């Protein structure tokens, strides 16, 4: 995966996240993620919470994500890392680094790390 493909995948994930968060229907996530995709959250260095990506726990109603598409890094095959800011989550200053694991062109996992 090159930088352009990674940017496209992240932008597609964010668009699907916003569509799912803005409706009762979580199916937009399925268009960009594997059926088994998981989300995890590590906040203030506490133990990570893990859940299905296509769930209200991972995609809160009304939530928004901002990602820095210009700072995408590709530290290894199938891994994309960039900065994020989340709005509408339980923590008001939900900012940090997001890592997307990719399998066959779809998101297989998302990890939010908000120190």
Using an 8 Å Cβ cutoff, are 98 and 84 in contact? Answer: yes
Q: What distance in Å separates the CA atoms of residue 81 and residue 28, rounded to the nearest whole number?
A: 22
- pLDDT tens for 5-15 read 999 999 999 99
Domains and their CATH numbers in the chain:
3-114 (3.10.450.50)
Residue 22's alpha-carbon distances to 10, 19, 59, 90, in angstroms, are 18, 5, 10, 16
- pLDDT tens for 36-93 read 999 998 877 666 788 999 999 899 999 999 999 999 999 999 999 999 999 988 777 7
pTM to 2 decimals? 0.91
Question: What six digits make up the tokens of 82?
Answer: 């960039």
Residue 22 CB neighbours (<10 A):
14
Residues comprising the chain, all counted: 115
């Amino acid at each position: 995966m090159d930088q352009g493909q990674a940017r496209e995948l992240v932008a597609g994930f964010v668009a699907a996240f916003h569509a799912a968060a803005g409706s009762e229907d979580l199916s937009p996530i399925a268009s960009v993620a594997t059926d088994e995709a998981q989300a995890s959250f590590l906040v203030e260095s506490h133990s990570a919470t893990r859940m299905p990506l296509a769930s209200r726990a991972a995609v809160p109603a009304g939530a928004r994500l901002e990602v820095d598409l210009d700072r995408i890094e590709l530290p290894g095959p199938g891994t994309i890392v960039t900065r994020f800011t989340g709005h509408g989550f339980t923590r008001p200053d939900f900012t940090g680094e997001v890592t997307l694991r990719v399998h066959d062109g779809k998101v297989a996992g998302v990890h939010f790390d908000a120190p």
